[in-house]
Structure 1
Amino acid sequence: MLQWLNRWNARCAKWLWWVVLVGVVAALPVMYARMQTETSADNVEIVLDYRDLLQVGNMQPEPQSYVREQLKQLKAAGVNGMAVFESTLEELAWAGEINVYNATQAALLEGKLTQPGDNGTYLVFNRPENEATLRPIIEKAFARHGVQVQSWTAKGESGLRVNLGYDDAIMRPMQPNPIAMRMLKDAGFQIVPRLSDRFEKFDANETDAWLQSFQELGVKRVLFDGEAVTGFGEGKKFYDLQAFAASLKKRGIGIGIFENLKVPQFGIAKLANYIDYNAIRAHSVGEAEMTVIKKKVLDDRLILAVKDRDIRLLYLNAVSVKDAVKGKVSNPLQNIVDVLQGEEGEKGVIAKLHDFGYDVGEPNAFDVHHASQEKLLRGLTMLAAITLVALTIGLFAPALLLIALVLGCIGGAGLYVVAPTLMVQALALAAAICAPTAAVVLLVKKLRTLRESSDAPISVSRRIGGALLLFARTTVLSLAGIPFIVALLNHISYNLVLQQFRGVGLLHLAPIGLVALYVFLYGGGNTVVGNAKRILAMPLTVLWIVCLGVLGAAGMYYLTRTGNAGQVSGLEMQFRSILENTFGVRPRTKEFLLGHPVFFAGIFLALRYRWGSVLIIAGTIAQLSMVDTFAHIHTPLLMSVIRVLLGLGIGLVLGFVLIVAWQIVEKLYAVWLKRSRAAA
C-alpha cells in the first residue's frame, strides 16, 4: 500500500512542479509593480536639528550672528531642511527671544529679597515686536499643562511669571516657534516640525491650528519626538490618534518614520495606516555619534541609507561637546559641511547621491503601484507556495505529499480568513525555507545517481562542466523562492518597515539542518531509521567532541550575523566599504566569499567522492542567503538583484580557484604516494 502511494505521489510531483512554475510566473508582474513603486520617489531631504544649532550658537560670543552665518554655510553645502521642535522656555532663551530667571535671580533683578516660598519661574521678552506672537503661545501652553501664568515686569520690561519650578518650567513643551520657522522658511529651508505626545491631554482643535500654521509655511512632513506619536496617549481607543490623522490628511501633511530605534515609536504604524501611508523613512545620526564619527564613515553611512534602505530623510545632529584633548568646546558643523560638499577633490554626499539617481529636494511618499489583477496573481502565488512546501515535505516523506498539499490548502485558506497577515508571513517564511532546501536535496539525489551510474571515474573536464550545470540548476530552483516572498509581502507597510519578514533566524538554520538530515539519514542502501541507528552507534571520541564544539561555536557566530542587528567588526566594516566603493553595490560576504565557492567546489568533489556532500551542506548558506537578501523588503528590488548576481559571479570565480587548488594538491599527493610505495 505504501509503495503504491509513493508511486502515485511521485507521478503527481512532476505535475505539481508545473504549479510552482505557474506561481513564479504569476509573481513577476507583482515584482515589476514593486519596482515601479520603489522608483517613484527619488528626492532626499537632508535635515539638521535647529535646536542643536541654537545650542551650539549659545556657546559662541555672538550667538545670533553665528547662527545666521552657519545657516548660510549649511544651505550652500546641501542641507535643505531644518527640524523645529516644540518650543521650550530654554530654547526661546537660546534664540534670544526671552530671558529666563529663577525666583532668586528675578528678585535680584528687581533689587529685592527673594520672597519665602516663591519657587516660580520668571521671564522677560527681549524683542517687543515678537511679544504679541510669543506671549499667547506661552500662556496657552502652560494652561494646557495646568500651570498658572501671570504678567510680570522688571525694570520696565514686559514679562511673565510661571507658577512652576525653574528646572521643570524650562522643559515644558509648547507650540513650535513660529518666528523661527518663518525665518528658516525665508532662508530657503524646508521646515520639518518635531511633535510629541507630552501634553497630558490631547487637544484636537489646538493641534489642528498648529498644523494649519505649518501648512501656511509649506510644511509637507512632520517627525515625532519621544517614545510615542502625537495623540497616542495611554489606555485610549485611538480616538485622539484618528483625530490627529484626520488633521494631517486635511492639511496634506505626511510623517517620517525613524529606522533602527530600539523600540518603534508607539502608534506610528497605526498613524501611517490612518493617513494612507503618506510616510517616508528617516535615518538619524545621533548626537553622541556625531561627536566622534569620522568623515568617511559618515559619508558611507548616509549614502548606504538612501540607496540600500529606501531612506528619504537624513537627520543630522550637531551638539557642542567639551574637547578635553584640544582644551576647547567643539561641534561637528564643519564636518557636516565637508561631508556633504566633499573635500580635497573628492565627491561629497550630494554629488554621490546624484550619481546614484537621487536629488536633494522635497521628499515624497512612494506612489504605490499594483499589477493588473493583483489579487488573482497573489492567489496563484499562494497556491504555488503551498505546493512548494508540500513538494519539499514529499522529498523527505513521499507518502505525505498529497496529504500535505490538501491540508496546506485547507489550513492556509482558513488562516487567511482569520488572520491574513499572519498567513502570508508564515507562507512567505515557509516558501523561503523550502526553495533552497528542495533545490539542494534534489542536487544531492542527482549526484548520488550520477556516481552510482558511472562505471569509471568521471574526468576532470566533465566534472567541471557537470558542476557548472548542476550549480546553475540548483541556484535557479533556490531563486524560485524569491518571487513568493516579494508577491506575498507586497505591501507598502513592508517597504516602510512597519511590518517585516518574520523568521530570519529560522530561515538561516532550517535549510542547512534539513539538507544535513537528508545527506546523513537518506540513501546509502539503508532506511532512515537504520542510518540513524548506525550514526548513534558510532563511538564518541575526543575528536568528535572537539568537532561538535567547533561546529556549535561556528553556528552561534553565524546566528549573530543574521538579521538587521547582526554584529560586525570594525575590520569587516572597512572590507565592506572597499567592496561598496569597488562595485557600487556590496555583495554579501557569506555568499561570494564562503557559500558559493564551497558549494561549487563541493559539487565538483561530490561527483567523485561521497564526502563532497559535506561541503554542499556548508555551501547551502549561500543558497538560502540569496533568498534572504530579498526578505529585506526595505532594500530596493533592483539593488537586491545586483547584489545576488555579483555574489554569484565572484563566488564562481573563487570556486574555480578552490577546484584548481584541490587538483594541484591531489596531483602532488598522488606523486608523493607513488614515490612512497616505490621506496617501500
Structure 2
Amino acid sequence: MEKWLKTLLVLFLAVSIISSGVALLPRLRAESAHNLIDGALPYADLKNMAQERQTSIEEVARLFKEEAGVNAILYKEGCIQDLADDGRIFIANRQEMVLSGWRENLPFKGGETYIVTAYADVMERVRRHLTEKLGGEKVSMLPERDGFYALAVDMRPSLVDAIGVGFDRENVVKLENMGFHSVFMLKDWPDVSERGIRFVIKDLALTGKNISAVLFENKQVLGYPKYLPVLAEEMNKHQLALGQVEFYNQLGFNQLATFLDKRVIRMHSVTDQEMQTIKPQELVDRLTLAARERNMRILYFKFLPAPDSERRFNINVEYMEKVVTQLKTAGLRFERGEGTMPRPFEPIHQSRMLLFLIGLGPLAGGMLLLERLGVRRTSILAGITALGALSLALAFFAFPLLTRKVIALASVIVFPTLSIIYLVPRQGLKPWHAVLYMAQMTAFSLTGALMVSGVLADISFMLKLQQFSGIKVAYLFPVLFVACAFFMLYGEGTPGERLKKLMDQPVLVKYLLLAAVLAVVGVIYLTRTGNEAAVGVSTLELKFRALLDRTLGIRPRTKEFLIGHPLMLVLLYLGYRDHRYLPLLILGSIGQVSMVNTFAHIHTPFIISFVRSINGFILGIMAGLVLMAVLQLGRLLEKRWRSG
C-alpha cells in the first residue's frame, strides 16, 4: 500500500472517531438528564393492606412514603367484576331480574346482562364507560326501583365482567394531593372503537394530573391495529407518556411509540410467580440494576408475601427503602408532586452527513485489515475504498436505518480483529511490555466501541424500539477470523501448503479432546450472548454477579476478566510462536470481542458500559499477571527438577 492511501485511511479513522464523539454528545446529555425515577406501589395491594390493618389507603400510603421513600402508585383499571367483588354492584341475568321484581320494560331479547346498584355515582360511572365503549345501542337504563339503579347490556355476562370502568377518581386525587405520581394500566374491551378510545384517554386525563405513564394490560396496545393513530392523537393531546414494561412485548407498541415521537418511559416489573420465591436482597439487586444499567425509570414495587400483615408491611418497606437509598446514591432522584414525574428522553437528531463520516471508520479499518492479510496492491485497495465510500453515501439515502446497523456491525467486527492481528507478537514480551501492548490493543478495540455508540446514538435504540442487529455474528466472526488470519500469516510455506499439511496430519486423541473442549466453550459463548440468552444463569453465578455489583458498583463481564483478558495477556507474554498457541489465541480474543460488543447495548447508559469495560480490563490484567507468575514459577520449578 502506497503512503498516500495509508495516510488517507488514517485520516478516515480520525474523522470517524471525531464524528462518533460528536454524535455521542447528545446521547450523553440525554442520559445525564434522565435521572427522575418513580417507585410505584400496587394500588390493589395498598387497598388490601389497608383493610387488613383496618385503616385508610391514604394512611398506608403515607407510611410507605415516609419509611420507604416511594413516590408513585400504579392503578390497574377496575372492571365490572371488581365492582361486584367489592359489593358495589350486583350482576344478574334476565331470569334473576324477573325474580327480583323487575318484570316490566326489560330491553333486548334475552342473553343480556344486568347491573344493579344502590349507588348513583357508581351507576353513572358504569353507564358512561359501557355506553362510550360499547355504543349506546347496546346499553339501556331501567327506571329506578326502590332506591336501586339498573342498566342492561346487550352482551353475555362472561364478556361484560372484564370490561374496564376506569379508576376511583376520588382516591387518585387524594393520593396525588399527598405527592404521589400516578401510573395507569388500561384494559382492552370487545370491538374497540374510535369513540371509546377518545373517551378513555379523556377520562384518564381528568382522573389524574400527575401521570407518569400509561400502560396497557393486554398482549396488544389498545386499538391495535386500526385505531393506533387515534390513540396516539389523544395521548399527544394530553401529553401522556407511554409505559414500556421490560421483557413484555406488545403488538403495536413500537408503532404507537413512533406516533408519540418516542415519548416512552421504561418500567421494570418482577412477575407474580417470581415474587413468590425471590429473596428480598435478590429483589433489591434486580431493581437497582434495572434502573441503573437499563434506564428503567418506573420500578414496580410489588409486595413480597409474608404470613401476617405487620410482617408483610415491614419486609416490603425494608426492601423498598434499600432500593431507593441505593439509587439515590447512584444519582437518581425520587421526587414527589406536580411536574416531577420521570421525563422521556429528549429527541436526538443526527445528520446523515455525520453518520456517513462515522461509517468511514470501519471502511478504513477494513482496508487496513486487508492490507495486513496480504492485499497490498494500492489500486485494488483504493478501488475498494472509493466503491465503499460511494455505496455508503447512497445507502444512507435509500436505507438509513439499515445502514446505521451495518456500520455498527462492521465496527464491532473490524476493530477487535484488527487490534489483535496487529499487536500479538511472534516472540514473547516482558511482563510490563505485555501489559503495555494489552492497553494499546484495548484502546484500539475501543475505537470500534466509540463508533457503534455514535452511529446508534438515537432514542429508538436507547428505548430498545430498535436494536443492534447481528449480535451472534459480532461475537463469533471476529474470533474465527482471527484464528484463520493467524493460520494464514504464520508458519512455513504458503497458506495452501499449510492447510494441506494440516489435513494430512494424523488426529491424536488429545487434539480431539481439545477440539471438544473448544466446541463446548464456543457453544456456551454463543448461547450466553445476545439480547435474549438461550442458556440460563446458575444460582451460584447470580450470587457471584451480585457480589461483584455490590463490590465494584458496576460488574464487568465474566468472560472478559476471567477468560479473555488474562489469557490474551499470557499470549502476549509467551508470543504466538506457532499454531500450538491457537487455542490460547481463540480464548484470549473473547475478551476484546466481548468488550466492544458491550457498547452495542445502547439501552445501557454509555458511562455504565465504559466503566464496566475498564473494570473488566483492570481485573483481567490482575488475573493475567497472576497467571504469568504461575507460569514463571512453573518454569523455575521445572528447571530445578531437571537440573537436580
**Could you state the TM-score of these two structures normalised by the residue count of structure 1?**
0.85
Q: Does 1:71 align with 2:61?
A: yes
Q: Unpaired runs of 5+ in structure 1?
A: 1-6, 342-347, 452-457, 676-680
Q: Secondary structure at the match of 1:100?
A: strand
8 Å CA contact 1:521, 1:528 repeated in 2: yes
Q: What is the distance in 2 between the residues matched to 1:29 and 1:518?
A: 34
2:401 aligns with 421
Aligned-pair distance for 1:504? 1.1
Q: What is the distance in 1 between the residues matched to 2:9 and 2:52?
A: 77
2:80 aligns with 89
Letter in 2 for 1:80: N
8 Å CA contact 1:228, 1:267 repeated in 2: yes
Letter in 2 for 1:289: E
Q: What is the distance in 1 between the residues matched to 2:406 and 2:616?
A: 28
Q: Does 1:202 align with 2:170?
A: no
Map 1:270-669 → 2, pairs under 5 A: 270-318=255-303, 335-341=315-321, 348-361=322-335, 362-368=341-347, 375-398=352-375, 399=377, 401-444=381-424, 447-448=425-426, 451=427, 463-566=430-533, 567-606=536-575, 611-612=580-581, 614-669=583-638
Aligned-pair distance for 1:340? 1.1
Q: What is the distance in 2 between the residues matched to 1:405 and 1:153?
A: 83
Q: Does 1:246 align with 2:233?
A: yes
Which shows bigger deviation, 329-338 or 76-85? 329-338
8 Å CA contact 2:133, 2:193 repeated in 1: no
Q: What is the distance in 2 between the residues matched to 1:387 and 1:258?
A: 40
Q: What is the distance in 1 between the residues matched to 2:142 and 2:76?
A: 26
Q: What is the distance in 1 between the residues matched to 2:46 and 2:159?
A: 23
8 Å CA contact 2:490, 2:578 repeated in 1: no
Aligned sequence identity (%) = 29
Aligned-pair distance for 1:302? 0.9
Aligned-pair distance for 1:102? 5.5
Q: Deviations over 1:132-152 (max 9, x none)?
A: 4443334443437x7444427
Aligned-pair distance for 1:629? 1.1
8 Å CA contact 2:46, 2:57 repeated in 1: yes
Q: Deviations over 1:287-333 (max 9, x none)?
A: 2222222110111111101110011111244598xx9xx7x999966
Q: Secondary structure at the match of 1:480?
A: helix
> Using a 3 Å threshold, how does the CA distance of structure 1 residues 180 and 147 change in structure 2: closer, same or farther?
farther
> Using a 3 Å threshold, how does the CA distance of structure 1 residues 660 and 319 change in structure 2: closer, same or farther?
closer
> Using a 3 Å threshold, how does the CA distance of structure 1 residues 423 and 61 change in structure 2: closer, same or farther?
closer
1:230 aligns with 222
Q: Secondary structure at the match of 2:33?
A: coil
8 Å CA contact 1:603, 1:616 repeated in 2: no
Map 1:181-220 → 2, pairs under 5 A: 181-203=172-194, 205-216=195-206, 217-218=208-209, 219-220=211-212
Q: What is the distance in 1 between the residues matched to 2:14 and 2:407?
A: 17
Q: What is the distance in 1 between the residues matched to 2:357 and 2:492?
A: 39
Q: What is the distance in 1 between the residues matched to 2:532 and 2:312?
A: 27
User: What RMSD over aligned residues (CA atoms) do the two structures have, in Å?
Assistant: 3.1
Aligned-pair distance for 1:550? 1.9
2:43 aligns with 50
8 Å CA contact 1:220, 1:252 repeated in 2: no
**Could you state the TM-score of these two structures normalised by the residue count of structure 2?**
0.89
> Using a 3 Å threshold, how does the CA distance of structure 1 residues 422 and 304 change in structure 2: closer, same or farther?
same
8 Å CA contact 2:52, 2:309 repeated in 1: no
Q: What is the distance in 1 between the residues matched to 2:83 and 2:304?
A: 17
Aligned-pair distance for 1:108? 6.7
Letter in 2 for 1:30: A
Aligned-pair distance for 1:130? 4.3
Aligned-pair distance for 1:25? 2.1
Q: What is the distance in 1 between the residues matched to 2:253 and 2:493?
A: 57
Q: What is the distance in 1 between the residues matched to 2:130 and 2:169?
A: 12
Aligned-pair distance for 1:532? 1.2
Aligned-pair distance for 1:580? 0.6
Aligned-pair distance for 1:483? 1.6
Q: Secondary structure at the match of 1:257?
A: strand
8 Å CA contact 1:389, 1:431 repeated in 2: no
> Using a 3 Å threshold, how does the CA distance of structure 1 residues 403 and 52 change in structure 2: closer, same or farther?
farther
Q: Deviations over 1:507-549 (max 9, x none)?
A: 1111110111112232223211111111111112333322222
Q: What is the distance in 2 between the residues matched to 1:317 and 1:90?
A: 23
Map 1:2-151 → 2, pairs under 5 A: 7-8=1-2, 12-13=5-6, 15-51=8-44, 53=46, 56=48, 65=55, 67-76=57-66, 77-101=68-92, 120-143=112-135, 147-151=138-142
Q: What is the distance in 2 between the residues matched to 1:11 and 1:612?
A: 36
Aligned-pair distance for 1:68? 5.0
Q: Deviations over 1:153-186 (max 9, x none)?
A: 6764223343443333211234444344334434
Aligned-pair distance for 1:563? 2.0
Aligned-pair distance for 1:105? 6.3
- Choose from 164, 187, 191 the match for 1:173: 164
Aligned-pair distance for 1:39? 0.9
> Using a 3 Å threshold, how does the CA distance of structure 1 residues 654 and 571 change in structure 2: closer, same or farther?
same
Aligned-pair distance for 1:597? 0.9
Letter in 1 for 2:83: L
Letter in 2 for 1:350: V
> Using a 3 Å threshold, how does the CA distance of structure 1 residues 313 and 369 change in structure 2: closer, same or farther?
same
8 Å CA contact 2:133, 2:192 repeated in 1: no
Which shows bigger deviation, 387-396 or 503-512? 387-396
> Using a 3 Å threshold, how does the CA distance of structure 1 residues 120 and 202 change in structure 2: closer, same or farther?
closer
Q: Secondary structure at the match of 2:135?
A: helix
> Using a 3 Å threshold, how does the CA distance of structure 1 residues 96 and 366 change in structure 2: closer, same or farther?
farther
Q: What is the distance in 2 between the residues matched to 1:411 and 1:161?
A: 66
8 Å CA contact 2:90, 2:117 repeated in 1: yes
Q: Secondary structure at the match of 1:359?
A: coil
8 Å CA contact 1:36, 1:369 repeated in 2: no
Q: Does 1:158 align with 2:157?
A: no
Q: What is the distance in 1 between the residues matched to 2:253 and 2:592?
A: 35
Aligned-pair distance for 1:397? 4.6
8 Å CA contact 1:52, 1:319 repeated in 2: no
Aligned-pair distance for 1:611? 4.0
> Using a 3 Å threshold, how does the CA distance of structure 1 residues 424 and 316 change in structure 2: closer, same or farther?
same
8 Å CA contact 2:348, 2:458 repeated in 1: no
> Using a 3 Å threshold, how does the CA distance of structure 1 residues 65 and 89 change in structure 2: closer, same or farther?
farther
Q: Secondary structure at the match of 1:478?
A: helix
Aligned-pair distance for 1:61? 6.8
Q: Deviations over 1:440-491 (max 9, x none)?
A: 01123xx13xx3xxxxxx7xxx611321222122111111101210111111
Q: What is the distance in 2 between the residues matched to 1:473 and 1:61?
A: 63
2:338 aligns with none
Letter in 2 for 1:127: Y
Aligned-pair distance for 1:422? 0.7
8 Å CA contact 1:120, 1:161 repeated in 2: yes
